[in-house]
Structure 1
Amino acid sequence: MDNLTHSLVGWALAETGLKHRTRKGLAACILAANMPDIDVFFGWAPWAPLAMHRGFTHGLIGGVVVLPPVLAAMLWLLDRWQLSGGKIAQSAPPMRFGWLLVLCWLGAITHPLLDLQNVYAVQLLSPASERWFHTDGLFIVSPWLLAFLSAGIWRTRKRKAGRPAILALVAALAFILGNMGISALAWRAPSADAPYARPDRIFASPEPLRFWRRDLVWRSGGAITHARFDPLISMTRLADYGPPVADNMSVPVVQRAAIATPQVRDFLAWSQMPTATIWRKGCEITVTFGDARFADPVMAGGFQETVRLTDC
């Protein structure tokens, strides 16, 4: 999810009354809710689980167990420094490190749970496993979720009572669970309806505004198919679907290209539905790898790697 959504979730948690449990309570909730995205600064790291976005820092071990105590310690040290300089207001609540740690853990766990909701997916068990998990419950930026959370925070701060923030979080949870149910129906539709596919990998991306609609993409027998699902039309059948297109990943020249450069190897380690396009010009072969989840021309350019080979 976008960092605004992560921040609003942490803020809403704090506004339920948790921010009063200890000094730095609000900061703990908001910073912890964003903390797993620190991995964007470690793309150079030689350890693959850390260099991989949504890997170790987004997993249950790194993001939920390891990082929150680090953040709590940093906030505690900041508080001690401010206290020694007389920069803490006398009306501020006392510093309770136990509560600070709890709030960091609470904020941190919301991050992978939210990122789990979109088709980019999360390696929840990293570094023990490279498996990607996803529920397809939300578009990566959900205006509906932003509206729920913003309204709850605004009402809470205006009324100086935590009930609106609690209701906003409950509404957000209900919205996510309902959308997860729609995606579960969408995943079953290709098998229950023509083309009666048996996908080995399937994603159902919600639309940002018409959240009930799904853009489906699946892989079956080495071919990629795109489709659309709308429960308002049918809860068991696809609204429409296109022809299957070969992903070309089993072509010998593509298999050569797949191990040609570190950049391609990293891309394919991340990609969950890789595709390859082959261009031949004389002795030169150009192989462009993409990901079927992001085949839209607007997005595709940011999710591609190209290799040039000679075959003479």
Structure 2
Amino acid sequence: MDNLTHSLVGALIGQAGLKRKTGLAMPALIIGANLPDVDAACFFWLDGVEHLGFRRGITHGPIAWVLLPLLLAGLLYGFDRWQARRGKRPEARLPVNFKWLYALALLGCLTHPALDWLNVYGIRLLEPFSSRWFYGDTLFIIDVWLWALLGFATWFSLRREKRGGEWRRPARIAIAVGLAYIGVNAGITAQQERHGSLHAVIAFGEHIRIGNGFVLEGPVAAEVIANPVPFAFWKRELMFGRDGRWLQEKCWTYDDCFAEPLGEPICEFPDMVVGHTDNSQLDAFLFWSRAPFAERAPDGSVILRDARFYDPRARDRFSVALPDVECEPLANPSP
């Protein structure tokens, strides 16, 4: 998720009452909720799409969950002592307890991978013990409805606290509503993936049309992705693929749907990309990509893209060019 969402989650946990456990609790929660994103520093030394193979890995895994909060708690504790020695420590600040600082930094840090798992980008939750990617396919990476809920609840809780009212209850209610919202979205994704599995079989397998329905013959191994979209949280962008060929579902009505290929024109998936290569850009892309397919470049070469992020306005951010590989058109590009 985006860093505003991470920050609001940390702040809301504090407003639920935990900020009264120790001095500097809110910085521990808010900074802790963003701490795994220190891997964004990789943009300073990695080129092109190499960052795709580095992000959401080692700093989002179990070792980082323990060590990053420990580092943050030590820095905050040292900062408090440094202010006290200089006579600059605010009088209103609660006494700082290192154990509580660490516990809150750890809690904030754990919310980060939990939220990152919810979108289609993916996260390597077990790094460095395993490089497997996990996908929740539940929320769009920037969810404005979650922003509105968390932002309003944080503001309302702070306002009540300033006026001497009950300020913990609004935060706790907002956390419960936020969890329910995530649960509803998970249910929508599950329902849409079941719907998409039927269309994947229709698109990739043998079928016989009978009236408005289908009689299907034989299972088809195809991956189905229900991709959340911006703003309309109740909708999903359904796509399904197999062997480097990805189709996107288009519907005129709920019962009148068809699948069209992603990429135009598309190519056979190049054999040279399988296994180890000496191209660091290609290696990083293939390690990260969940739905790769090959598209013909204007010069007849190949561009590898990912179906999850096939957007004409930003697709170069998630693609790698293979100028020395010739595009071989699919024998049967239509579903």
- Into which bin does the TM-score normalised by the smaller protein fall? 0.7 to 0.9
* Residues 77 and 248 (structure 1), Cα distance of their counterparts in 2 relative to 1, 3 Å cut: farther
Do the aligned partners of 1:119 and 1:134 also contact (CA within 8 Å) in 2? yes
Unaligned 5+ segments in structure 1 are none
Give, in whole Å, the separation in 1 of the partners of 2:52 and 2:262.
34
Say whether residues 1:88 and 2:93 are aligned partners.
no
Q: Match of 2:23?
A: 23
Alignment of 1:224-235 (within 5 A): 224-227=246-249
Secondary structure class of the residue paired with 1:272: coil
Q: Partner residue of 2:61?
A: 59
Which residue pairs with 1:214 in the alignment? 236
Q: Is the 8 A contact 2:53 2:288 kept in 1?
A: no
Shift of 1:222: 3.7
CA distances 1:10-63 after superposition (whole Å, capped 9, x unpaired)? 110111111111111000000000011100103538xx999711111112332x
Aligned residue type for 2:142: V
Q: CA separation in 2, counterparts of 1:8 and 1:15?
A: 10
Matches within 5 A, 1:281-300: 286-300=301-315
Distance 1:50 1:186 in 2: 27
**CA distance in structure 2 between the partners assigned to 1:21 and 1:308 by the alignment:** 59
Once the 2 structures are TM-superposed, how far is the Cα of residue 225 of structure 1 from its aligned partner? 1.1
Q: Deviation per CA, 1:111-164, whole angstroms, max 9, x where unpaired?
A: 111111111011111111111111111111111101110111111111111110
- Corresponding position of 1:179: 185
Q: What secondary structure, in the 3-state scheme, does the structure 1 residue paired with 2:238 have?
A: strand
Determine the structure 2 residue equivalent to 1:303.
318
Q: Aligned to 2:173, which of 152, 163, 167?
A: 167
Cα gap change, 1:88/1:7 in structure 2, threshold over 3 Å: closer, same or farther? same
SS at match of 2:314: helix
Identity of aligned residues (%): 37
Contact 1:202–1:216 (CA under 8 A) maintained in structure 2: yes
Give the superposition deviation at 1:272.
1.3
Distance 1:89 1:304, change over 3 A: same
SS in 1 for 2:318: coil
Question: What's the counterpart of residue 264 of structure 1?
Answer: 282
Equivalent residue for 2:118? 117
**Is contact 1:249–1:255 with CA below 8 Å preserved after alignment?**
no
C-alpha RMSD over aligned residues: 2.8
Distance 1:249 1:82, change over 3 A: farther
Q: Which residue of 1 aligns with 2:77?
A: 76
Higher mean displacement: 258-267 or 196-205 = 196-205
Partners of 2:230 and 2:53 lie apart in 1 by 29
Distance 2:146 2:221 in 1: 30
Structure-1 residue corresponding to 2:101: 100
SS at the partner of 2:12? Answer: helix
Tell me, which stretches of 5 or more residues in structure 2 are unaligned?
Answer: 162-166, 205-219, 327-335
For 1:240, the aligned partner's letter is C
Residues 260, 307 of structure 1: 8 Å contact kept: no
Give the partner amino acid of 2:55. H
Alignment TM-score, normalising by the size of structure 2: 0.81
Q: Quote the Cα distance in structure 2 between the aligned partners of 1:178 and 1:299.
A: 29
Whichever residue aligns with residue 55 of structure 1, its letter is: G
AA partner of residue 29 (structure 1): L
8 Å contact from structure 1 (residues 50, 57) kept in 2: no
CA distance in 1, matches of 2:274, 2:100: 52
Q: What whole-Å deviation, never above 9, does each CA across 1:97-122 have from its counterpart, x for those lacking one?
A: 11101100110111111111111011
**Residues 1:222 and 1:76: Cα distance change in structure 2 (over 3 Å):** same
Of structures 1 and 2, the one with the larger relative CO (CA 8 A, separation 6+) is: 2
What is the TM-score when the length of structure 1 is the normalising length? 0.86
- State which drifts further: 24-33 or 157-166: 157-166
Q: How many residues align?
A: 299
Q: CA deviation at 1:309?
A: 1.5
Tell me, in whole angstroms, the C-alpha distance in 1 between the residues paired with 2:133 and 2:260.
27
The 8 Å contact of residues 136 and 205 in structure 1, kept in 2 or not, is answered as yes
Residue 251 of structure 1 corresponds to: 270
Query: Which of 242, 249, 257 is 1:240 aligned to?
Result: 257
Is the contact made by 1:138 and 1:179 (CA closer than 8 Å) also made in structure 2? yes
Aligned residue type for 2:100: W
